[in-house]
Amino acid sequence: MVMSEVGHQGCQASDEIHRIERHLGRPIPVRGRQGIDNLLCAEAQLEHHVQHPIPYLAALRPLGAMTNGAKADFSLSLCCWCNSCAISGKVLMNHTLTGGVMAQQKDSIALPEVAVTGEQTLQQLLRLRRSNRKFEDAPLSLSEIGQLLWAAQGITHQGHRTTPSAGALYPLELYLVAGQVEGIEAGIYRYSPKSHRLNQTADGDRRKRLTRAAMWQSWIKDAAAVVVFAAVYERTTWKYGKRGVRYVHIEVGHAAQNLHLQVEALGLGTTAVGAFDDKKLANLLQLPADTEPLLLMPVGRQ
Ligand SMILES: Cc1cc2nc3c(=O)[nH]c(=O)nc-3n(C[C@H](O)[C@H](O)[C@H](O)COP(=O)(O)O)c2cc1C
């Protein structure tokens, strides 16, 4: 569930959210469809004064047990913090909202703990990195998938990630089109960096459709899984304007190179793929309206 969905239900949440948006002077960006663990969170920045933009977290939490697709009451809190002044952690508002509807939630899968040591040096991996388009017909393990997603966008410390992000606004969203991954069914999953989990958004093997969306690059369907990098531009452009678009593109490059090097460290193969039909891919992944696909990286054994 996302805040805008609550707002569109015509329940009290709608008024509250609009009131907060009026207070902030802009819409609360939403993170798109997501799973229960980090459900209902929207991050944005509240301009405190010129020197200190203050990030805030608007969080809706279910009150009591939740059933998929059912109506329920939520608490809404808006917190803000600032590393350089005293208001850190102050809760601005706390409300109870009634009658929100939680989106259908499919499986949420905890990923194994990541390894932070390896056998090869960074220099060796840089020298070895190559695009690979031939894959064995063999599955990837869940721990390999977890390691790859963490390398691309995982949390390292205090909410910061393996890749830099302009203003620490983190516009990237990672999806996994899983075909052959041990322990999970074929389907589409969204990666939650905060909880290091995969939240399923659709089922079924979508690799052939993905190949068609990617201009019939037939080798893509042979990858055990495909990592899709998408972005919510608004998370960055509200602050940096048009220049924010450039920042988002730079960030996806950082994340893709991290994934390339992690693939190499695991002895797997991948290639960055930019040739695809944006609309077909967004439809296939059922991306929220504010989320655009930027890059694919099919991964498999070689
Ligand atoms: C932004 C971008 C888009 C790319 N798109 C594709 C693509 O659609 N299909 C493909 O086979 N390779 C694609 N590539 C991979 C390049 O062809 C590859 O990196 C290049 O041939 C250099 O080879 P190397 O990666 O082994 O050094 C893309 C690479 C980048 C950086």
Average pLDDT, the chain: 78
Provide the token pair at 15: 């008024």
Confidence of residue 24 (pLDDT cuts 50, 70, 90): low
Give the Å distances, CA to CA, from 106 to 77, 227, 234, 287: 26, 19, 27, 16
Residue 82 has pLDDT above 50, yes or no: no
Query: Which residue shows structure tokens 């949420």?
Result: 108
Residue 235 has pLDDT above 50, yes or no: yes
Average pLDDT over residues 194-213: 95
Q: Please tell me what DSSP assigns to residue 5.
A: H
Q: Give the residue, out of 125, 131, 210, 212, with the most ligand 1 atoms within 8 A of its beta carbon, to mutate for a pocket test.
A: 131
Residue 220 has pLDDT above 90, yes or no: yes
Query: Which residue shows structure tokens 């909410």?
Result: 159
For the chain, list the domains and their CATH numbers. 3-95 (no CATH), 103-301 (3.40.109.10)
pLDDT-above-90 percentage for the chain: 60
Regarding predicted confidence, which is higher, 61 or 176?
A: 176
Confidence of residue 38 (pLDDT cuts 50, 70, 90): very low
What is the predicted pLDDT for the residue at 74?
A: 56
What sign does the dihedral 2-289-233-113 (CA atoms) show?
A: positive
Nearest atom (ligand 1) to Cα of 275 = 8
Average pLDDT over residues 2-10: 30
Average pLDDT over residues 31-50: 32
Q: Say how far apart CA 270 and CA 257 lie, in whole Å.
A: 11
Give the count of beta carbons closer than 10 Å to the beta carbon of residue 227: 25
Give the angle 227-251-163 at the CA atoms, nearest 5°.
Answer: 80
* Radius of gyration, alpha carbons of the chain: 20
Confidence of residue 275 (pLDDT cuts 50, 70, 90): very high
Q: Say how far apart CA 93 and CA 267 lie, in whole Å.
A: 50
CA nearest ligand 1 atom 15, residue: 272
Q: Give the residue, out of 215, 273, 278, with the most ligand 1 atoms within 8 A of its beta carbon, to mutate for a pocket test.
A: 273
Q: How many residues does the chain have?
A: 302
Regarding predicted confidence, which is higher, 39 or 91?
A: 91
Confidence of residue 56 (pLDDT cuts 50, 70, 90): very low
| DSSP run (H or E) holding 227 | strand 225-231
Residue 136 has pLDDT above 90, yes or no: yes
Q: Please tell me what DSSP assigns to residue 21.
A: H
Q: Is the pTM of this model over 0.95?
A: no
Ligand 1, CB within 6 Å, residue ranges: 130-131, 133, 217, 271-275
